[in-house]
Amino acid sequence: MTFATIKRTIVVIDDDHDIQDIITAFFKTKGFSILCFSNAEAALQEARTSGQKWDVVLTDLSLPTMTGLEFIDQIRKLFPNLPIILITNSKSVDAAVEAIQKGANDFIVKPIHFAQLQISIERALYISTLNGDLTELRTLVKSTRSNHGSVIGVSPSFLKALDIAKRVAKSTANILITGESGTGKEILAKYIHSSSHQQKGPLVAINCSAIPENLLESELFGHAKGSFTGANEKKVGLFEEAQDGTLFLDEIGDLSLQLQAKLLRVLQEKKIKRVGENQYRNINCRIISATHKNLPTEVNDNRFREDLFFRLNVIQIDIPALRERKEDILPLAESFLRRFSLENASPVNSFSKESVGFLLENTWRGNVRELENAVERAVVLCTASEISLENLTHSTSILKSRKESFQPTEAENAFYMTFKDHLPSVDDLVFEYIKFAVKRNSGARDKTAKEIGIDRKTLYKRMGTSQFTD
C-alpha cells in the first residue's frame, strides 16, 4: 500500500528542527509534500487562513505553550476527520493513549523508527480515504432519496415533464405518467411524492402486470381471514397501507376490466371493502398511475374504461424515450458511473472518447434502465480507471447480435402485405407466423418451436403437410 502516486501533504509539528529535517528528507523521497511548524499555534493559524488541504498531521505530544492534547481539541473543530499521529517518548505513553481516546489515530515512540512511521502514516491515509468514500456514498444515497432523487436530465423535453411534476406535486390531483418501459416513470412518481404534502406519509407501489388477476384484488383492497383458499390471516390492502400518502399504480393499462370497475368505485367514493368483508373503510391517499400503453387507444378498443381513464388522467406527464433526449444520456451515465464505482470500490472514474460516442449513438431500446445496467456491468468488468468501448459494447452485444443476425429479405417483408385486402382468420395468421419463423431459422423446426414457445408436436400440426416452399 503506497500513496506515492498521489501528492499528499504531511504536516509536521515539532520544536526540534533536527526531527523536522529528518522527517522532511525521508518523506520527500516517498513523494510526499511536507509542511513544518515549531509550535501548535502557528499550525492552527495556517489551518484557519490558508485553505490548503492537509492529509495527515504528525505532531509531538510535548509542545511549547500548547500541548499536543490541546492541539487535537482545536484542530478537530476545524477538520473532524483529519488523521493525527503523535510523536512521544517512552515516559509519555499513557498521555499518548489518552490522546488517542480524544481523537488521535496513532502514536510512535522516540527514537523514530521510520519504517514503522511510514506504515502508520499510510494506514491513516488509507482509512481516511475509505471514510471519504463512505461519506460520498452516503451523500449519493441520500441524494437519490431526496426531492430530486435520480431525476436527472437537461433536455428541453425532460425538463418540461419535470416542470409539470414540480407544479402539480403540491396538489391532490391524480396523475398519469406515460412513457416507454424503462424511462423512469416510478422515479418521477417518487419525486412527486417527496415534493408533495403527502411526503410524510408512505409511498406504496405496485406493478399491476406483475401480479395474477385473482390475487391483485386482494393486494389492492386486502382480504378477511378465510375469504378464499389460502387466506389464513386477514390482510391489509395497499390502499390502506398508503393512507395519508401516495399509491403508485404502475402499468395501470394491464388492469382487467373487472378490477377497473372496482378501482373506479374506490376513486369515486374514497372507500374500500376488503375481499370477504361487508364493512367499508375510508381511505385517503393520492393516486399516481403509470403505463407504457396508449390509453386513449385502449379506450377506443374497449380494453380500458373511459370513465376510469378520465379519473386517473387529471394531470398527464409524458416522459420521452431516451433516444429522443440524447442530451440526457451523458449526465445519466456519469451519475450511474459514480454510484457503481463507489458501490463496487472500483477505480473507474471516466468514459473513454470512443465509449462516449457509443453512449450517444446507441438507440437504448430499454431506455434509462438499459443504460443503467450497461454502465453497471461496464464498471464491474473494467479494471482500469476509464471505461473502454469494449467494456460497454460487451454489455449490449447479446441484443446487438440478435438485432443484426437476421435481415429480412423482400419475400419475408412481403409477409406484412399478405393480408392487405382482407381480414385473415386466426389460423391464417398462425400459419403465416410459423412459416415466417421457420424461414428465419433456416428450416430448423425444433429450434423454431422452442423460440416461439410451443412444443414440437404443435408446430408440426400447425405446419400440416406444407414444406413452406415458395
Other Cβ atoms closer than 10 A to 113 = 12
Residues 336/160, Cβ–Cβ less than 8 Å: no
Mean pLDDT of 261-288: 93
Does 396 share its domain with 333?
yes
Does 169 share its domain with 108?
no
- Residue that has been written with the C-alpha cell 413452406 in this structure: 468
| Amino acid 165: pLDDT | 94
Does 434 share its domain with 287?
no
Does 271 share its domain with 331?
no
Does 311 share its domain with 341?
no
Does 376 share its domain with 429?
no
| Amino acid 417: pLDDT | 52
Does 432 share its domain with 397?
no
Mean pLDDT of 393-401: 54
Q: What is the CATH number of the domain that holds 397?
A: 1.10.8.60
Q: Give the residue from 257, 286, 320 where a domain finishes.
A: 320
Does 41 share its domain with 14?
yes
Beta bridge partners of 318: 178
Give 225 or 398, the one with higher predicted confidence. 225
Q: Is the pLDDT of residue 235 over 50?
A: yes
pLDDT in tens, 38-78: 999 999 988 888 767 788 999 888 888 888 788 888 888 88
Mean pLDDT of 419-442: 73
| Domain with 124 in it | 9-142
Does 221 share its domain with 269?
yes
149 domain-assigned:
no
3 domain-assigned:
no
Q: In this structure, which amino acid lies at residue 211? A: I
Does 307 share its domain with 161?
yes
- Quote the mean pLDDT of the chain: 83
| Amino acid 403: pLDDT | 45
- Cα dist from 314 to 168, 310, 447, whole Å: 10, 7, 48
With cut-offs at 50, 70 and 90, classify the pLDDT of residue 124: confident
* Alpha helices for 50-202 (secondary structure H): 68-78, 93-101, 114-144, 156-169, 185-194
